[in-house]
Amino acid sequence: MRPSILRRLALTSVLALALTACGTGGDEPEAEPDTGEDTDTETDTDDDADTDDADAADDDGELSGDISFSTLQLSPDFDEYINGVIASFEEQHPGTSVEWIDIPFEGASERLLADASAGTLADVVNLNPDLAFPLASEGIFVDLDEAASDVRGDYIEGAWDAFRYPGRDGAYGYPWYLSTEVTMYNAALLEEAGLDPDAAPETFEELFSVAREVAANTDARGMHPALENRFVIDLVKLGVEITNDDATGATFNTPEAVAHVEELVSLYEDGAISPDAVTEGHRQEIESYQAGNIALFPTGPNFLNIIEENAPDIAASTRVAPQIVGPAGVTGMSVMGLMVPEGTDNPEVAHAFAQYMTNEANQLAFADEVLIFPSIEAALTDARFTDADEDADFAEAIATAAEQLPNAANLRPVVVDSEVNDAIISNVQSAMLGDMTAQEALDAAEAEVNDILARRAG
C-alpha cells in the first residue's frame, strides 16, 4: 500500500463522488487502499489521441496561441499526468502554449465568481455541474451543442446532458471523468435472515423488503439511509421532479414523495434503520457496514478495497450488484467537466485542448492513474472496465459500475446545493423521528425551498 496512491484515490473520491453527490458523496474515509501496481504515467500520444481536436483548427489546419487551463485540486497528485497531456498537445500543435492553474476546492466557488466578474477566468475551466451552475446561468460559458456538435456523439449522453441548466438552452461542458455507485451487500447477513444470498435487491421495494427481513431475523440493521447524500437522488429515481423547469419553485411535494418518506418512517419504526442513522452521513454508513451492522451499502466500487483493508471478514462476505433503481430504471452518476468561457481570446485552441484532454486515449490514460470512469462511451469497452484481472471481486465491482454508465444520468439537480438540501433533509429527519407527519415534513420543506429560490431570484 503506497501513500501516494492512497492520496490519489481519496482525492478522486472527493471530487468525483462528494462534489457531484451521486448518492455516495459527503464524508470520505481518511485514506483508501491501492487498486493495483503503479502504471506508466506517460500520456498516449498516438494518432488516435488528437483526432478529436482536428475540427477546432484554423482554416490552414494550424492552431496557434496561448491559453490557460484551471483545475480543481488535482495538483500535486496528478502533476505528471496533467503536464504530460499538456506537453503532448503542445508537441502536436507547435504554435500553442497551455498554462495550467490548479486551485484548491475550498473557496473555489468564490474565486471563480470573482474571476468571472473580472473577466479573468481561464480559457478552459474544470468544474462539476453544481459549481458551474451560477456561472452557466449568467451565460458565461459557450454552448457546446452548437460549438462542438461534431464530437457530442462521442460522449455518454447523460454525461453531456449533465451540463444543461434551468432556463437556458444548450449544454455547457465537455464531460471529463465520471463515477457511479453499485450496491454492495453482506451475503452472510442475507443468508442468516433466510434470504437468497445470490438475489440482491434491484428496486426500492426489494431493498426495503430485504432491509426489514435482515432487521427481523439478525442482530444487524438492514440499511443506512444516508439522507444527506441520497434522499433527493432517490426522489428523482422515483420520478419526482425537485423544481420546475426554470428552478423558480419547488415541485417535490408529491404523493410519490410523501409515500417515500412514509416508507422511511416505517423502516425506522420496524428497526430496519437505527435511530442514530437518521442524522448520520456517508462516513458513518461506511463504518456501520464495515462493522457488520448493516446489510446493504450503495457506494462507489473503490470502497470494496477500503472494506478489504479495514474489515477483511466483511469483505469476504461482500457481493456486488447493480445500483438500486426506480420505475424508470435510470442509474445515477457524477460528472466532472471542462467549460470554455465565451470571453476566451483563443476559442479554437481552448476547444481543441478541451476535446484533447477528454478524448478516449487521454481518458484511458487517466484511468491508469486512479479509479475513474471515462465519459467517452467507446472507452468503456476497454478491458480494464470489463475483465476480471488480479482481484476478481474488485474487477466485478468496476465492470458492474461501467456497464451502467451508458444509460446513466446526473440525477442530482444543480439547484440542490447544501442550503436547499439541508432544508429538505432537516424536515425529513423530523418526520422519521416522529416530530411531524410525512406530509407536514414535505409541506415545511417545500415552503423553505420556495423561500430560498425566491430570495435567489430576487
Please check whether the two domains, 3-180+333-409 and 182-330+413-457, share a CATH topology.
yes
**Average pLDDT of the residues in 229-238:** 97
pLDDT-derived band at 394 (thresholds 50, 70, 90) equals confident
pLDDT of residue 389: 56
Which one, of 29, 10, 1, lies nearest residue 370 by Cα?
10
In this structure, how many other beta carbons lie within 10 angstroms of the beta carbon of residue 131?
A: 22
- Please check the confidence at residue 395 and state whether its pLDDT lies above 70: yes
Which one, of 453, 35, 62, 2, lies nearest residue 247 by Cα?
453
Amino acid identity at 444: A
What's the chain's average pLDDT? 88
- Please check the confidence at residue 78 and state whether its pLDDT lies above 70: yes
**Average pLDDT of the residues in 302-321:** 93
Grid cell listed for 22: 451521486
Instruction: Classify residue 327 as exposed, middle or buried by CB count within 10 Å of its CB (0-12, 13-18, 19+).
Output: exposed
pLDDT of residue 291: 97
**Average pLDDT of the residues in 92-112:** 96
Report how many helices (DSSP H) and strands (DSSP E) the chain contains, helices first.
Answer: 18, 10
For residues 275 and 224, give the distance between their C-alpha atoms in angstroms, rounded to a whole number: 10
pLDDT of residue 392: 56
**Average pLDDT of the residues in 407-424:** 96
- Please check the confidence at residue 16 and state whether its pLDDT lies above 70: no
Which run of H or E residues covers position 64?
strand 64-72
- Please check the confidence at residue 37 and state whether its pLDDT lies above 60: no
For residues 45 and 91, give the distance between their C-alpha atoms in angstroms, rounded to a whole number: 9
Q: Where are the domains of the chain?
A: 3-180+333-409, 182-330+413-457
pLDDT in tens, 288-299: 999 999 999 999
Length of the chain: 458
- Please check the confidence at residue 155 and state whether its pLDDT lies above 60: yes
pLDDT of residue 302: 86
For residues 24 and 283, give the distance between their C-alpha atoms in angstroms, rounded to a whole number: 10
pLDDT of residue 393: 61
Q: Return the CATH number of the domain spanning residue range 182-330+413-457.
A: 3.40.190.10
Instruction: Classify residue 32 as exposed, middle or buried by CB count within 10 Å of its CB (0-12, 13-18, 19+).
Output: buried
**Average pLDDT of the residues in 275-284:** 94
- Please check the confidence at residue 2 and state whether its pLDDT lies above 80: no
pLDDT of residue 43: 39
Is it true that the peptide bond before 104 is cis, omega within 30 degrees of 0? no
- Which residues are CB-contacts of 51 (< 8 A; sequence separation ≥ 6)? 359
Beta strands of 113-247 (E only): which ranges? Answer: 124-127, 174-180, 182-186
pLDDT of residue 246: 94
Torsion sign (Cα): 30, 282, 391, 41: negative
Which run of H or E residues covers position 370?
none
For residues 43 and 453, give the distance between their C-alpha atoms in angstroms, rounded to a whole number: 44
pLDDT-derived band at 387 (thresholds 50, 70, 90) equals confident
Which tops the pLDDT comparison, 11 or 238?
Answer: 238
Exposure string for 8-26, b = 16+ CB within 10 A, e = fewer: bbbbbbbbbbbbbbbbbbb
Contact 73, 104 (CB under 8 A): yes
**Average pLDDT of the residues in 73-99:** 97
pLDDT of residue 55: 39
Tell me the HSE value of 335 on the side-chain side, using a 13 A CA sphere: 34
| Class of the CATH-defined domain 3-180+333-409 | alpha beta
**Percent above pLDDT 90 for the chain:** 81
Look at strands 64-72 and 124-127 and give their pairing: parallel
Give the global pTM: 0.87
- Please check the confidence at residue 86 and state whether its pLDDT lies above 50: yes
- Please check the confidence at residue 3 and state whether its pLDDT lies above 90: no
